[in-house]
Chains A and B, each alone.
Chain A
Amino acid sequence: MSIFLTIINRKFKNIAGTRYERILRNYKEFFLTEEELSLPVIKSILMPVDRSTRNVPEEIYEVLSACEDAEVTVVYIMSEDACALIRQTLGEEASREFRQKEEEAGRELLERIARSLEDSGLKVRTRMFFGNKSEDVIRLSRERDLLVIPRLYGSEITKTRSISPVVMKIVHHVDIPVIVY
Chain B
Amino acid sequence: MDQASIAIAIFLFTYALIMSERIHRAVAALLGASLLLMLKIVPWENVPDYLDLDTLLLLTGMMIIVNTAKKSGLFEYIAIKTAKMARGNPIRVLLLFSFVTALVSSFLDNVTTVLLLTPMLLYVTRLMELDPVPFLLAEIFASNIGGTATLIGDPPNIMIGSAAGLTFNDFLMNMAPIALVDLLLAFVFIYLFYRGELKVSSEKEEKLGSILNRMDEKGAIKDLRLFEKSVAVIMLVVVLFFVHDRLNIEPAVVAMFGASVLLVWSKESPEEVFEKIEWPALFFFGGLFIVVGGLVQTGVIEGIAEKLVDYVHTDAQALLLITWFSAFSSAIVDNIPLTATMIPLIKAMGAFFNNSPLWWALSLGACLGGNGTAIGASANVVVIGIAERERIKISFMDFLKVGMIIMVLTVGAGAAILWIRYMGV
A8-B216 in contact (CB<8A): no
Contact of B375 among A2, A11, A23 (CB under 8 A): A11
Give the CA-CA distance A81 to B418 in the complex, in Å: 93
Q: Quick one: closest B residue to A26, CB to CB?
A: B76
Specify which chain B residues have a CB less than 8 angstroms from the CB of A14 in the assembled complex.
21, 24-25, 280
Q: A7-B375, A8-B374 are in contact. Are A24 and B395 (CB under 8 A)?
A: no
A12-B381 in contact (CB<8A): yes
Specify which chain A residues have a CB less than 8 angstroms from the CB of B375 in the assembled complex.
7-8, 11
Closest Cβ of chain A: how far from B121's Cβ, in Å? Answer: 11
Q: A27-B120, A30-B216 are in contact. Are A11 and B385 (CB under 8 A)?
A: yes
0/1 interface trace, chain A 27-63, chain B, CB 8 Å (1 if under): 1011110001101000000000000000000000000
Is B193 at the interface (CB under 8 A from chain A)? no
Give the CA-CA distance A96 to B295 in the complex, in Å: 110
B374-A15 in contact (CB<8A): no
Q: Quick one: closest B residue to A10, CB to CB?
A: B21
Is B115 at the interface (CB under 8 A from chain A)? yes
Give the CA-CA distance A4 to B393 in the complex, in Å: 11
Closest Cβ of chain A: how far from B84's Cβ, in Å? Answer: 11
A30-B220 in contact (CB<8A): yes
Q: Quick one: closest A residue to B222, CB to CB?
A: A26
B115-A32 in contact (CB<8A): no
Contact of B384 among A8, A30, A32 (CB under 8 A): A8
Closest Cβ of chain A: how far from B115's Cβ, in Å? Answer: 6
Closest Cβ of chain A: how far from B181's Cβ, in Å? Answer: 29
Specify which chain A residues have a CB less than 8 angstroms from the CB of B280 in the assembled complex.
14
Closest Cβ of chain B: how far from A87's Cβ, in Å? Answer: 54
A4-B24 in contact (CB<8A): no
Specify which chain A residues have a CB less than 8 angstroms from the CB of B123 in the assembled complex.
27, 31
Is A181 at the interface (CB under 8 A from chain B)? no
Closest Cβ of chain B: how far from A28's Cβ, in Å? Answer: 9
Closest Cβ of chain A: how far from B251's Cβ, in Å? Answer: 24
B127-A15 in contact (CB<8A): no
Contact of B119 among A2, A10, A24 (CB under 8 A): A24
Q: Quick one: closest A residue to B219, CB to CB?
A: A30
Specify which chain A residues have a CB less than 8 angstroms from the CB of B211 in the assembled complex.
32, 37, 39
Is A5 at the interface (CB under 8 A from chain B)? yes
Closest Cβ of chain A: how far from B301's Cβ, in Å? Answer: 27
Specify which chain A residues have a CB less than 8 angstroms from the CB of B131 in the assembled complex.
none
B382-A16 in contact (CB<8A): yes
B220-A15 in contact (CB<8A): no
Q: Which B residues from 382 to 425 make CB contacts under 8 A with A?
A: 382, 384-386, 388-389, 395-396
Give the CA-CA distance A158 to B89 in the complex, in Å: 57
Specify which chain B residues have a CB less than 8 angstroms from the CB of A12 in the assembled complex.
381-382, 384-386, 388
Q: A8-B381, A27-B76, A27-B120 are in contact. Are A20 and B374 (CB under 8 A)?
A: no
B215-A30 in contact (CB<8A): yes
Specify which chain B residues have a CB less than 8 angstroms from the CB of A20 in the assembled complex.
115, 119, 382, 385-386, 389
Contact of B115 among A5, A16, A39 (CB under 8 A): A16
0/1 interface trace, chain B 188-221, chain A, CB 8 Å (1 if under): 0000000000000000000100110011100110
Closest Cβ of chain B: how far from A27's Cβ, in Å? Answer: 5
A9-B385 in contact (CB<8A): yes
Q: Quick one: closest B residue to A5, CB to CB?
A: B388
Is A161 at the interface (CB under 8 A from chain B)? no
Contact of B385 among A16, A26, A27 (CB under 8 A): A16
Specify which chain B residues have a CB less than 8 angstroms from the CB of A4 in the assembled complex.
374, 395-396
Is B111 at the interface (CB under 8 A from chain A)? yes
A9-B388 in contact (CB<8A): yes
A23-B116 in contact (CB<8A): yes
Q: List 12 A-B contacts (CB under 8 A).
A: A4-B396, A8-B374, A8-B381, A10-B22, A11-B375, A11-B381, A11-B385, A12-B386, A20-B115, A20-B389, A30-B215, A31-B123
Which residue numbers of A lie inside 8 Å of B, CB to CB?
2, 4-5, 7-12, 14-16, 19-20, 23-24, 26-27, 29-32, 36-37, 39
In the A-B complex, the 6 residue pairs with the closest CB atoms: A12-B385, A10-B21, A11-B381, A4-B396, A27-B119, A15-B378
Which residue numbers of B lie inside 8 Å of A, CB to CB?
21-22, 24-25, 73, 76, 80, 111, 115-116, 119-120, 123, 127, 207, 210-211, 214-216, 219-220, 280, 374-375, 378, 381-382, 384-386, 388-389, 395-396
